[in-house]
Amino acid sequence: MSNEATLKISLIMNPASGTSEQGALLLETLAPMSGVTILTTDAAGEGERLARQAVADGAELVVAAGGDGTINEVVKGLIEAERRVPLGIIPLGTGNDLARTLALPTDPLEAWKLILVGERRKLDVIEIRTPRELHYALNVSAGGFSGQLNEAMSSEVKSAWGPLAYLRGALGVLPDLTSYRTTIQYDDQAPEQVDALNIIIANGRTAAAGVQVAPLANPEDGLLDVVIVHYGSIMQLAGAAARLLVNGNYLNSELVELRRAKKVQVISDPEIWFNADGELITNEPIVFEVLPQALEVVVGAEYQAVIEDVTTGS
Ligand SMILES: Nc1ncnc2c1ncn2[C@@H]1O[C@H](COP(=O)(O)OP(=O)(O)OP(=O)(O)O)[C@@H](O)[C@H]1O
């Protein structure tokens, strides 16, 4: 490998991400390279500041080396930076869900080589607003309820699945579920009332370490895929969850609905909790809006923007 990068690259690494130790060899390889600056996050939230600073210091490409949480922070920094700079990704997390949709190599050295020569695509970014906060997601924002679930599930399952835990829990024994009134507004259409257990706002296709929560999402179509899991009987929910977990397409389950929109507003009683790329963010009323093709991102050779719906009609 050449000892000189032709671009000015800043690599932001999270030493606390799930598989960061796998990046050690990569760091040894990169250390002598001119044109590459290695920055390390010292605490949660640092990725955003480091990305903004890297752009201000002249970076022509910023690499996020970590999991989905680290990518999320770097994306916020890049979107808010003074210039729009492309993003490269070295997946060193636990779930690495965005990397799955983008077909990125799991080996850090291979991921680095791809960053230098790979195709860049302009991907949509999800802007997430609440009355008090502004976030972004490049992969998925998942919403779900806790309440009864807190009593029924182990803390291990809850922390791994977060707002998606209802779907996971439906496979086990759960008490009768309460229905939750949710108002959803798509673009400028009239608001709709639904009894939803999970609401997934997706740009990428998987969450919770490879679960296909939005199997048809296209990261560059200028639209959000909104997947709603409606309230139903335990049997119905178990059916949807089984399809989801065996990686069948759960979109044609009777409880699951797919909508597409540029903007989605969600208000719910009791409050629904949402995460952004896996990090829990808020239970406030929330507005999601797509920023079409807002960020150039290096993708793998096998990346496909459009997924054919092979289940249609089945
Ligand atoms: N030095 C640090 N010490 C502790 N936490 C950190 C540090 N730097 C970053 N973090 C936080 O670690 C969290 C998790 O990191 P990250 O998402 O990279 O890995 P992961 O959770 O293992 O992967 P994934 O999200 O793909 O499952 C992020 O929310 C980030 O803010």
ipTM above 0.85 for this complex: yes
CA of 26 to the centre of ligand 1 (A): 18
Task: Write down the pLDDT at residue 178.
Answer: 58
Atom of ligand 1 nearest to the CA of 66: 18
Tell me if 204 CB under 6 Å of ligand 1. Answer: no
* Average pLDDT of the segment spanning 266-285: 88
17 to each of 71, 92, 128, how far by Cα in Å? 11, 6, 24
Helix H segments across the chain?
A: 24-30, 46-56, 68-79, 97-101, 108-117, 148-152, 155-161, 165-169, 234-245
CA of 99 to the centre of ligand 1 (A): 15
Residue-wise pLDDT for 148-175, tens only, equals 455 556 666 666 676 676 676 655 545 5
Confidence of residue 187 (pLDDT cuts 50, 70, 90): very high
pLDDT over 60 at 12, yes or no: yes
Tell me if 70 CB under 6 Å of ligand 1. Answer: yes
- The strand pairing partners of 264, in sequence order, are 186, 288
**Residue 76 to residue 266: CA distance in whole angstroms:** 22
CA of 71 to the centre of ligand 1 (A): 9
* Complete domains list, the chain, with CATH: 4-118 (3.40.50.10330), 134-293 (2.60.200.40)
CA of 175 to the centre of ligand 1 (A): 33
Decide which of 302 and 279 is more confident.
302
Q: Mean pLDDT in the chain? A: 89
| Most informative mutation of 14, 42, 101 for ligand 1 (most atoms within 8 A of CB) | 14
Residue 6 identity: T
Tell me if 94 CB under 6 Å of ligand 1. Answer: yes
Residue-wise pLDDT for 213-260, tens only, equals 999 999 999 999 999 988 887 778 878 888 888 767 899 899 999 999
pLDDT over 60 at 313, yes or no: no
Q: Which DSSP symbol is given to 23?
A: G
Tell me if 77 CB under 6 Å of ligand 1. Answer: no
pLDDT over 50 at 314, yes or no: no
pLDDT over 80 at 146, yes or no: no
Task: Write down the pLDDT at residue 105.
Answer: 97
Tell me if 41 CB under 6 Å of ligand 1. Answer: yes
**Residue 84 to residue 107: CA distance in whole angstroms:** 27
* Cβ(68)–Cβ(101) below 8 Å: no
